[in-house]
Structure 1
């Protein structure tokens, strides 16, 4: 039986196979929270989900936004809001889908 070290992010409970990836995810969530708070203070009328989505979108794509702020606004056409999926979580999801499909068929 192989043993695999996992790191869990305190903010959202996501699991990672490397400390570097866990730290990067935690920093992204910290930035997203700061962005959400700043937007909340300056743009009235947004609900919590919208604020979270805005914060995560900007934090996850901070490099593209940085390029856009430097005059390359076309970079924003590359924005990606999809949540990155950890390989273990992805495998578990695929296994669960396969089990569900087998249960439906059988």
Structure 2
């Protein structure tokens, strides 16, 4: 019998998504907080947006907050991607070095794909 730890993100009393790591669950919860704040901010504007479109827009913006932040700072999205890609390469190289230094423990199971009503939107946007 296996014991499986799952982290559940609950919003408005309903299970929204299930994750296998706390880090993933916290990141998703933070993204939902950002989407909620964007939703409130955009509702105060004089722009007439349908509720469903507003939900989709704020969710998309929260998912891509790094790129949007770069754009708002005046940095071209391509330049931000290049900087992020080089940073990712450095982190990956450091991770490979640490794996070589430390013997591998037990094989980890692959992370469970998020499930829930927003999972389809998350996969579609990716």
Query: TM-score by structure 1 length?
Result: 0.65
- Equivalent residues, number: 81
Match of 2:31 in 1: 28
Q: Tell me the CA shift for residue 72 of structure 1.
A: 2.4
Distance of 1:87 and 1:15 partners within structure 2: 8
Structure-to-structure mapping, 1:79-98, within 5 angstroms = 87-89=112-114
Q: Tell me the CA shift for residue 37 of structure 1.
A: 1.1
Question: Which structure would you say has the larger RCO, counting Cα contacts within 8 Å and 6 or more residues apart?
Answer: 2
Q: Give 4+ residue runs of structure 1 displaced > 2 Å after superposition.
A: 72-75, 86-90
Q: Tell me the CA shift for residue 89 of structure 1.
A: 4.6
> Alpha carbon RMSD of aligned pairs, Å?
2.1
Kept in 1, the 8 Å contact 2:67–2:77? The answer is no
Runs of 5+ consecutive residues of structure 1 not aligned to the other structure:
79-85, 91-106
The structure in which a higher percent of residues are helix is 1
Q: Secondary structure at the match of 1:4?
A: coil
Distance of 1:23 and 1:30 partners within structure 2: 10
2:73 to 48, 70, 86: 70
Runs of 5+ consecutive residues of structure 2 not aligned to the other structure:
82-110, 116-126
Distance of 2:28 and 2:77 partners within structure 1: 26
Match of 1:3 in 2: 3
Distance of 1:67 and 1:87 partners within structure 2: 31
The structure in which a higher percent of residues are strand is 2
Distance of 2:33 and 2:70 partners within structure 1: 21
